[in-house]
Structure 1
Amino acid sequence: MFQRLLRKLFTKRVQHYFFKQRLLFQYPDMTIYTSQRNMLQLFNNLHLPGHFSIIDTNVNMTQRERMGTSATRILSTPNAGGSSIYSEALSIELLSRLLGVDLYKTETELEYYYPEECDNGGSGPLMDYACHYVTREREIILGVSVTRAMAFNRNYTRQDAIALLRKKLNNIIASSSSIVNTKFDRHILHVWTESGKNAALIKRECKKLKGHLNFKDTIVLISIVNTDLVFFNNNHHLLINKVK
């Protein structure tokens, strides 16, 4: 009996050690840090329906990035407005390097039906892009919404995290159900953060949503990144103010 208990404890320790192991994806222009637990959860969510998962990554830009075909396509295609085109390009670049996904449709290539009679003037939330992940058995279409957890001239708060997640996750549901030329198998909310503190706030609030039926088949990808271009592209005056 003692030997069985010892083996059981040893197995748990081995599992704990295994899941805590850090993974490193190293490229000349960036290094991506995550864990084996994160990658297992990510693959589990992609292959099995009905899951909500939270994935942590840390992206260290070591030099000017070498964008791949998918990211270059986003950068060279007009979007539907806003100042986040670089964050969207870097998002598909990260997913491409982690999973080998390819861009399927850009923001403006996705077509929507928002009825005029729904008091929204025939418009509504948009998905930032669609990509596809190919397995031996099938092709999985992912709808990706990219956002940034940030606050100007003050600390990012728990209330900021709650408001961001509520808005973006509900927008994913609304936009996904209104797209007429693509059907998504899974959704990804990609949240860029400037610090581990902001990432922790987002993750803490995400954990409270795991049982929410509306957000099943959703992956929240939280990425800490060390480049201001994600947060201040097309807002050069803000970047100048921050540096000062």
Structure 2
Amino acid sequence: MLSCQVCHTSAAKLIGRATPVQEHFVCAKTSGLEFYFSRVVMYDMMMALASNPTACGLASCNIHVPSNAYLHTMIRSPCAVKVYTDPNAGGSSLISEAMSMEMLARLFGAKLLFTELELKYASSRSPITDYACQIGNSLVGVSVTRAMNYRQALTKTNARRLLLKKLSGINKSSQSVTNCSFDRQILHVWTQTSRDAATVKSLFDKMPQHLKSNTIILVTTINLPILFFEPQHTFTRNRS
């Protein structure tokens, strides 16, 4: 679990809920990164993971990256390093997936079980989950995405299309995976701005219940441009 310096700062709006309320954010500083979140929301998320496997929900967190930080100082837990260096299905999502694992490891003590290509499916056409981890007693599948619209502001139409696609894929991958059985999944949504995060969060209640199922949507805003604009990668072996 998290081992860091913790301070408190008041804010007029709770990060993790759609309804504005007076709340105190927790600022957790660990290994050069600053995590800002509502302790209430993070506690609720942990309780849902630990003892309420049928619940869906939404939580959010902001991460501040210092301007002098290097990628290797952020992706440092063995689980996140494995996600970053192991072969994957290709694309431009290595950093976003590794940072997702890093965040869950630091905040919730998550332990990696399977990387993207270690997960097996009954059908080669099945949508795939990015990685599987253990959080408490729960086996959790994690699907990572970035809510963004290139060169334009993210709109509700863009965000709705993304959430519907990803939630549908999560349900199909949970049904098709063969070498493990997810207790639930997390849809980890990265955003560049608080405005984009608010757009995503405003749509949560409007998503069909059968698609939300027992998925937790974790919205994280981070000031790390390379996470959103990294180059394409295609790996056939581990990188040196």
- Could you say which TM-score interval applies, normalised by the shorter chain? 0.7 to 0.9
**RMSD between aligned alpha carbons?**
1.7
Residue 166 of structure 1: CA displacement? 0.1
Unaligned runs of 5+ in 1: 1-17, 115-121, 237-244
Figure out how many residues of one structure are paired with residues of the other and give that number.
207
What's 2:17 paired with?
A: none
Residue 208 of structure 1: CA displacement? 2.0
What's 2:6 paired with?
A: none
Matches within 5 A, 1:154-165: 154-165=152-163
Would the aligned equivalents of 1:148 and 1:193 in 2 still touch at CA under 8 Å? yes
CA–CA distance in 2 between the matches of 1:19 and 1:88? 32
Matches within 5 A, 1:1-244: 20-46=23-49, 47-62=51-66, 63-64=69-70, 65-114=74-123, 122-134=124-136, 139-209=137-207, 212-234=209-231
Q: Which has the higher helix share?
A: 1
CA-to-partner distance for each residue in 1:53-106, whole Å, 9 max, x for gaps?
110100111212252100100111010111101100000000011100011100
Unaligned runs of 5+ in 2: 1-20, 234-240
Farther-moved stretch of structure 1 (104-113 vs 47-56) = 47-56
What's 1:7 paired with?
A: none
Counterpart secondary structure, 2:90: coil
2:96 counterpart letter in structure 1? S
Structure number with greater Rg is 1
Counterpart secondary structure, 1:56: strand
CA–CA distance in 1 between the matches of 2:48 and 2:201? 17
Residue 199 of structure 1: CA displacement? 0.3
What's 2:3 paired with?
A: none
Length-normalised TM-score, structure 2: 0.82
Would the aligned equivalents of 2:90 and 2:232 in 1 still touch at CA under 8 Å? no
Counterpart secondary structure, 2:58: strand
Would the aligned equivalents of 1:19 and 1:37 in 2 still touch at CA under 8 Å? no
CA–CA distance in 1 between the matches of 2:86 and 2:122? 22
CA–CA distance in 1 between the matches of 2:22 and 2:166? 29
CA–CA distance in 2 between the matches of 1:129 and 1:207? 26
Residue 235 of structure 1: CA displacement? 5.4
Percent identity of equivalent pairs: 36
Would the aligned equivalents of 1:144 and 1:190 in 2 still touch at CA under 8 Å? yes
Would the aligned equivalents of 1:19 and 1:36 in 2 still touch at CA under 8 Å? no
CA–CA distance in 1 between the matches of 2:30 and 2:39? 19
